[in-house]
Amino acid sequence: MLDAALSDETAGRECLFEVFARSLPHGRRYGVVAGTGRLLELIRDFRFGEAELSWLRENEIVRPATLDWLADYRFSGTVRGYREGELFFPNSPILTVEASFAEGVILETLVLSVLNYDSSVAGAAARMVSASAGRPLAEMGSRRTGEHSAVAAARAAFIAGFAATSNLEAGRSWGVPTMGTAAHAFTLLHDSEEDAFRSQIDAMGPGTTLLIDTYDVDAATDLAVKVAGPGLGAVRLDSGDLPSLVASVRKRLDDLGNHATKITVTNDLDEYTIAALAATPVDSYGVGTSVVTGSGSVAAGMVYKLVAHRGDDGEWMSVAKRSAAKATVGGRKNAVRRIDASGTAVAEVLYVGGAVPPQLTAAADHADLPDVSPAGSTERPLLVDLIVDGVAVEDHLGAAGVARAREHHAAARAELPPQALRLSRGGEPGIPTVYEPGA
Residues 203, 277 within the same domain: yes
Domain of 420, in residue numbers: 2-106+301-437
> Where a domain ends, among 254, 278, 296?
296
Say if residue 137 is in the same domain as residue 97. no
Co-location of 386 and 430 in the same domain: yes
- CB atoms under 10 Å from CB of 161, counted, come to 21
CATH code of 281's domain: 3.20.20.70
Residue 115 lies in a domain: no
SS3 content of the chain, % helix, strand, coil (to 5): 40, 20, 40
Q: Is residue 116 in some structural domain?
A: no
Beta carbons of 423 and 271 less than 8 angstroms apart: yes
Q: What is the CATH number of the domain that holds 90?
A: 3.20.140.10
Residue 79, domain member (yes or no): yes
- Same domain membership, residue 279 and residue 159: yes
Q: How many CB atoms lie within 10 A of CB 359?
A: 11
Q: SS3 of 313, please? A: coil
Q: Who contacts 412 (Cβ-Cβ below 8 Å, separation ≥6)?
A: 85, 86, 87
Nearest to 272 by CA among 247, 296, 308, 237: 296
Last residue of a domain, which of 248, 280, 296?
Answer: 296
208 with 308, same domain: the answer is no
If we measure between CA atoms, which residue out of 64, 35, 60, 250 comes closest to residue 149? Answer: 35
Q: Which residues of 169-186 are buried (b: 16+ CB within 10 A; e: fewer)?
A: bbbebbbbebbbbbeeee
DSSP string, 234-279: EEEE-SS-HHHHHHHHHHHHHHTT-TT-EEEE-SS--HHHHHHTTT
Give CA angle at 351 (350, 356), nearest 5°. Answer: 130
Torsion angle, alpha carbons of 220, 221, 224, 230, to 10: -170
Cβ-contact 271, 295 below 8 angstroms: yes
Residue 97 shares a structural domain with residue 151? no
Domain end residue (candidates: 274, 296, 318): 296
Residue 75 lies in a domain: yes
Structure confidence at residue 181 (pLDDT): 87
- 99 and 26, same structural domain? yes
Please say whether the beta carbons of 139 and 284 come within 8 A.
Answer: no
Shared-domain flag, residues 48 and 161: no
- Indicate the burial class of 393 (C-beta count within 10 angstroms; 0-12, 13-18, 19 or more): middle
Residues 290 and 305 in one domain: no
Task: Give how many domains the chain has, as a whole number.
Answer: 2
pTM of the entire structure?
A: 0.93
In this structure, the answer to whether residues 73 and 147 fall within a common structural domain is: no
Report how far residue 149's alpha carbon sits from residue 293's, in angstroms, rounded to the nearest whole number: 10
Q: Give just the sign of the alpha carbon dihedral 122, 126, 131, 135.
A: positive
- Contacts of 114 by beta carbon, 8 Å cutoff, 6+ apart: 35, 38, 39, 42, 152
Cβ 331 vs Cβ 403: under 8 Å: no
Residues 229 and 319 grouped into a single domain: no
| pLDDT score of 354 | 66
DSSP code, position 353: T
In a domain, 114, yes or no: no
Q: Is 393 strand, coil or helix?
A: coil
Q: Is 144 domain-assigned?
A: yes
Residue 323: CB atoms within 10 Å: 8
User: What are the start-end ranges of the E strands in 252-376?
Assistant: 262-265, 284-287, 302-310, 316-318, 333-339, 345-352
Going residue by residue through the chain (439 aa), what tens digit of pLDDT does each one get?
999 999 999 999 999 999 999 999 888 999 999 999 999 999 999 999 999 999 999 999 999 999 999 999 999 999 999 999 999 999 999 999 999 999 999 999 999 999 999 999 999 999 999 999 999 999 999 999 999 999 999 999 999 999 999 999 999 999 999 998 899 999 999 999 999 999 999 999 999 999 999 999 999 999 999 999 999 999 999 999 999 999 999 999 999 999 999 999 998 999 999 999 999 999 999 999 999 999 999 899 999 999 999 999 999 999 999 988 888 999 999 999 999 999 999 999 999 986 665 544 333 333 343 333 456 779 999 999 999 999 999 999 999 999 999 999 999 999 999 999 999 877 799 999 999 987 5
- Is residue 161, in this structure, part of any structural domain at all? yes
d(CA 214, CA 118): 34
Please check whether residues 292 and 313 belong to one and the same domain: no
As a whole number of angstroms, the distance between CA 222 and CA 255 comes to: 10
**CA–CA gap between residue 37 and residue 34 (Å, rounded):** 8
Is residue 113 one of the residues assigned to a domain? no
